[in-house]
């Protein structure tokens, strides 16, 4: 089996959706029987409109097929003392298909994201970690913060 870490482009929209759907199903956020056509369309539109500009994504290919993925959403905020550039990145959807786990794919993708952030001047990375993923991030220096709140409108 050949493996390769790749930066995703528009040609990966379908595979990006496939893995995102797997993730949502595994987390119990969507039922397999539910009609996901609206979410699929919105996800693909977002991916195509943002990839390479406001979002950078990577994937691990196994024999040419996308087996794992991870994304970095980019944004600027008002500078503050720890981040005078205001450049930040939100890491999300680090996911490996069940049949491809325990190969170190998530680690490779996270390492690539961190390297990209360093090369491009992003000063802060943050994420919401699953229990399974927390160790990967902690090993790379991420620390917990418990003051986040949210409001859905």
pLDDT at 150: 80
Q: How many structural domains comprise the chain?
A: 1
pLDDT given at position 112: 99
Q: Which domain holds residue 65?
A: 3-138
In order of 3, 15, 60, the CA distances from 65 in angstroms are 9, 8, 8
Q: What is the 3-state secondary structure (H, E, C) of 98-110?
A: HHHCCCCHHHHHH
CA–CA dist 3, 142 (Å, integer): 27
Q: How many CA atoms lie within 13 A of 109 on its CB side?
A: 28
At residue 29's C-alpha, the angle toward residues 25 and 35, to 5°, is: 70
pLDDT for the residue numbered 152? 82
Are 83 and 123 in contact by the 8 Å Cβ rule? The answer is yes
Look at residue 68 in the predicted model and tell me its pLDDT. Answer: 99
CATH code for the domain in which residue 66 is found: 3.40.630.30
Does 12 map to a domain?
yes
Q: What is the pLDDT of residue 34?
A: 81
Whether 143 maps to a domain, the answer reads: no
Query: Is residue 151, in this structure, part of any structural domain at all?
Result: no
pLDDT at 63: 97
Residues 6+ apart with CB under 8 A from 150: none
Whether 146 maps to a domain, the answer reads no
The number of angstroms, rounded, from the C-alpha of 39 to the middle of its chain's C-alpha atoms is 17
pLDDT of residue 114: 98
If one counts every other C-beta atom within 10 angstroms of the C-beta of residue 10, the result is 12
The answer to whether position 45 is within a domain reads: yes
Question: Would residue 152 count as lying in a domain?
Answer: no
Q: Is residue 20 part of a domain?
A: yes
**For residue 106, is it within any domain?**
yes
Residue stretches of the chain with pLDDT short of 50: none
């Amino acid at each position: 089996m050949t493996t390769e870490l790749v930066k995703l482009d528009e040609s990966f929209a379908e595979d990006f959706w496939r893995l995102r759907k797997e993730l949502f199903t595994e987390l119990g956020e969507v039922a397999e029987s539910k009609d996901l056509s609206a979410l699929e369309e919105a996800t693909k539109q977002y991916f195509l409109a943002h990839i390479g500009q406001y979002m950078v994504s990577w994937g691990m290919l196994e024999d040419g097929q996308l087996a794992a993925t991870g994304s970095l959403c980019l944004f600027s905020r008002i500078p503050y003392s720890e981040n005078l550039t205001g450049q930040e990145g939100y890491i999300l959807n680090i996911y490996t298909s069940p049949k491809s786990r325990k190969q170190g794919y998530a680690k490779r993708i996270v390492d690539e994201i961190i390297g990209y952030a360093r090369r491009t001047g992003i000063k802060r990375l943050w994420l919401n970690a699953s229990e399974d993923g927390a160790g990967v991030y902690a090993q790379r220096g991420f620390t917990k913060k418990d003051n986040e709140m949210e409001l859905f409108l």
